[in-house]
Structure 1
Amino acid sequence: MTLSPERATFYLDCLRADAARLAEVARLGLAAEVPPCPGWTVDSVVRHTAQVYLHKVEILRLGKRPEPWPPNLDDREPFALYDEAFATLLTALDKAGTSSETWTFSPWDSTSGFWYRRMALETAVHRVDAELAHDVATPVDRELALDGIDEVLTLMLGGPWWAEGDTSSPVDATVRVTADGHSWTIALNATSAEVTRDTDAEVAAEIYGDPTAVLLWLWGRVETSAVQTVGDDEAVKAFRSRVAECTT
C-alpha cells in the first residue's frame, strides 16, 4: 500500500508540529510526572520518544528490526538526544520515501509509508503526555485524531492477534466507537476482534465524543468521564481493558 504524496505531507506536517510542541512543553520541566502513566516523568517521555525515533531510523535503514535493541542512551542529555533523533528520523523518512519495502507490525502494509502515519500518531500521544504533566493539554489535529482512532481499532485491536485466546479480557460483546460522525463497530470474543463500519448492527454499548477525547481514551490518557457512553457499562470497561492489551 503506497501512501499518497498529499497524505505523506499531512503526516509530516503533524509530526513536525507535535514534535516541536513536545519539546516546547518539556522545557517547562523534565521532573513533572505524567498523570496517566505511573512512574513516567516528562524526562521519560522525551527519552522514550527519542528512542522510538531512532528505532524507526534503523528499521528504515535495515528493512527489519534492529538487534540488539535498545542502545544505552542514559548518559545523553535529553533535549540534545531528542533533537538529534527527530532530525535523523525526518532524514530517514525522506530517504525511504513512502513505498520502500520494510518491516512493520501491520499484516497489511509493509511499506515505509506506514511509519509516516505511525510516527505522527506516536508523537501526538506523547506530546499530550508532556502537556498533561504540566496541565497545558491542547487538542490533537481533528483529522489526525480520527486517523488515530482508526489505527487503534482496525490495526492494533482488529489485527490477527487474538487467535490463541490468551487475552485477559475475553469480552464477548459488540461495541461501537463514534467520533465526529465516523463510527467503528467492533464484535469481540476471546479469539477475535472484527472491526467494520456497520452502523446498523445492534451493540451492547457505544462510546462517543470529540475525536481527541476518544483517541486519548483509547490510549488510556483520559478517564471514561472524558467521553460519553451509552449501554452496558461492564461492556465498556471490558472493551477498554481489551484495548489496553494491544496499546501497551
Structure 2
Amino acid sequence: MICLADEYALLRAAVSAAPDAAPVPSCPGWTAADLVAHVTEVYLHKAETMLRGEWPTPWPPDLSGEKPLAALERSYAELVAEFAARAPEEYAFTWYEPDQSVRFWIRRMAQETVIHRVDAELAAGLPVTPAADDLALDGVDEGLKVMLAYDFVRFPENFAEVVRDDPKAAIAVVGGERAWLVRPSPTEVVVEDETADRAAEQAQTVVSGSPDELLRWLWGRGGEVSVTGDPGHAAYLRKLLALATQ
C-alpha cells in the first residue's frame, strides 16, 4: 500500500503539470486528459469489483459532471478505502484464477499506477522518476508470469500472428539480484525463477538492466537494457509482451 500511495502522489503531480491536450508519447493517440480518464475508470472499476464481488455493470460510469482531477482523486480514495476495509488475504474476485485475493488487486493497482505515472511524466515533460527496486522487480515478475504466461494459455488467439516454434528461444531476464528464465513455445510460455548465473547458463539470450529500466522495457515505456546472445529472441519476447500488456 505504501508503494501505491507513493506512486499515486507522483502520478497526481505529473497529471497536474500536464495540459489536458498534451500528447502521451508512450500511448500514441492519447492525451493527458485521456490518461486521467483511463486511470480514474480503472480505479473505480476495481473498487466496484471488490465491493460487489463481480464485474460491475453497466460500465463505464458517466464522469462528465466532474472535473477530471477531482474524479481521479475520488476514484483513488474509493480504491484505497476498499483495500483498507479488507485484509490482503481475503477473497476478492479477479480475472487471474490462481489468485482470488485482495492482495492481487493491491499488486495490480500499484503496477498500473507505476506505468501510468511514467506516462504522465512523459506527457508533462518531466524527468521520469525511477521506480523503487522492489516495486520494479515485482512488476517484472507480474508482467512475465501473470500478464504473459497466463494470458498466453488463456487467450492463444491474441498471440497467433507472432507465435513461432523455436525450441532454442530460452531467454534470461535479469534485473539486479533477480532473474527469470523464459521459454516460449507454440503452446505455452514457461517462466522460471532462477539466479542470474543459472539463468544465463541455460539461455541463448540474456536481457538485463536495472530494475526500473527492465520494468519500463517490459511495458514498452523505453527502458535501456542490455541484450547479449541472439537479439532476435529478445525482440520476440518484446513482441509477446507487447500483446500481453496492451
TM-score after normalising by structure 2: 0.90
Q: Structure 1 197/52 Cα, relative in aligned 2: closer, same or farther at 3 Å?
A: same
Question: Within 5 A, what are the aligned runs for 1:22-37?
Answer: 22-29=11-18, 30-37=20-27
Q: Secondary structure at the match of 1:220?
A: coil
Change (3 A) 1:39 1:181: same
- Number of residue pairs the alignment of both structures matches: 235
The equivalences for 1:116-131 within 5 A come to 116-131=106-121
For 2:9 and 2:151, the matched residues in 1 are separated by 35
Structure 1: which 4+ aligned runs deviate by more than 6 Å? none
Does 1:181 pair with 2:177? yes
Q: Which residue of 1 aligns with 2:205?
A: 205
Partner of 2:58: 68
User: How far apart, in 1, do the equivalents of 2:112 and 2:55 lie?
Assistant: 18
The CA deviation at 1:163 is 6.3
Shift of 1:164: 6.8
Deviations 1:33-85 (A, max 9, x none): 11111011221221111110000011110111112221232443110100110
Match of 2:6 among 1, 11, 17: 17
Counterparts of 1:197 and 1:50, CA distance in 2: 34
Partner of 1:91: 81
Could you list the runs of 5+ residues in structure 2 that have no partner in the other structure?
Answer: none
Q: State the match for 1:191 in structure 2.
A: 187
Contact 2:151 2:244 in 1 (8 A): no
For the aligned residue pairs, the C-alpha RMSD in angstroms reads: 1.6
TM-score normalised to the size of structure 1? 0.89
More helix by share: 2
What's the counterpart of residue 221 of structure 1? Answer: 221
Any idea what SS the aligned residue of 2:54 has?
A: coil
1:152 is the counterpart of 2:143:
yes
Alpha carbons of 1:187 and 1:84: their partners in 2 closer, same or farther (altered >3 Å)?
same
Q: Counterpart of 1:139?
A: 130
- Aligned equivalents of 1:154, 1:241: Cα separation in 2: 16
Q: CA deviation at 1:236?
A: 1.2
Structure 1: any 5+ residue segments left out of the alignment? Answer: 1-11
| Percent identical residues | 35
In the TM superposition, residue 28 of structure 1 has moved relative to its aligned partner by 1.3
Within the candidate set 72, 96, 99, 1:109 is matched to: 99
Counterpart of 1:3 in structure 2 is none
Q: Which amino acid aligns with 2:23?
A: E
SS in 2 for 1:117: helix
Residue 49 (structure 2) aligns with: 59
**Is 1:164–1:191's contact at 8 Å kept on the other side of the alignment?**
no
1:77 to 67, 78, 82: 67
